[in-house]
C-alpha cells in the first residue's frame, strides 16, 4: 500500500476504496498505466453480493475522474477471454475490441463513446451527477 501511495503522490496511479452508503469498504479500483492520452483501470474487486449499482457507479466514477479531472481521452483495457462478465460489462460501456490473442481481448473506450452511454448509466444509479459516489480515496 505504501508503494501505491507513492505512485499516487507522483501522479502515476490512483487507488480507491469502494464504499457502500454506510461507508463500509466493499471493494477496490485503480487507475494506472498512463500512456499519453490513455489510461487503464483495473484491480477492480467488489465484494460478492454487492448490488450491481456498485459496479456501475464505480465505473462511472473511474471514467469521470480519468476523463474530466485527469484529462485522458481514452482507456485501454485488457480482459481475459474467460472473464466473459467483465468483457460484457466493458462492451456495454462502449469499449471496442482493438485486437485479441489466445489469452486476452484488448479493448479501447474513448471519451466520446463513454459520453454516449454515460447518461443511461447515471440514470440507473439515480442521478445525472451523483452528489456522493460510493468511491473514495483511502
Please say whether the beta carbons of 96 and 109 come within 8 A.
Answer: yes
DSSP letter assigned to residue 101: -
Query: What pLDDT digit, counting tens, does each position of 47-80 carry?
Result: 998 888 888 989 999 999 999 999 999 999 999 9
| Ranges of the chain with pLDDT below 70 | 1, 127-138
DSSP secondary structure of 34-68:
EETTEEEEEEEEE-TT--HHHHHHHHHHHHHIIII
pLDDT at 12: 84
Could you give the count of Cα atoms lying within 13 Å of 69 in the half-sphere of its Cβ? 10
- What is the model's pTM? 0.84
Amino acid at each position: 500500500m505504501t508503494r501505491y501511495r507513492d505512485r499516487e503522490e507522483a501522479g502515476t496511479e490512483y487507488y480507491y476504496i469502494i464504499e457502500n452508503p454506510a461507508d463500509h469498504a466493499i471493494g477496490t479500483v485503480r487507475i494506472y498505466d498512463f500512456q499519453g492520452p490513455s489510461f487503464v483501470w483495473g484491480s477492480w474487486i467488489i465484494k460478492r453480493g454487492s448490488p450491481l449499482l456498485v459496479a456501475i457507479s464505480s465505473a462511472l466514477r473511474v471514467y469521470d475522474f480519468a476523463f474530466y479531472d485527469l484529462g485522458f481521452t481514452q482507456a485501454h483495457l485488457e480482459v481475459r477471454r474467460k472473464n466473459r462478465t467483465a468483457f460484457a460489462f466493458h462492451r456495454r460501456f462502449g469499449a471496442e475490441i482493438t485486437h485479441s490473442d489466445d489469452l486476452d481481448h484488448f479493448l479501447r473506450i474513448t471519451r466520446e463513446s463513454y459520453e454516449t452511454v454515460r447518461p443511461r448509466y447515471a440514470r440507473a444509479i439515480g442521478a445525472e451527477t451523483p452528489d456522493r459516489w460510493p468511491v473514495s480515496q483511502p
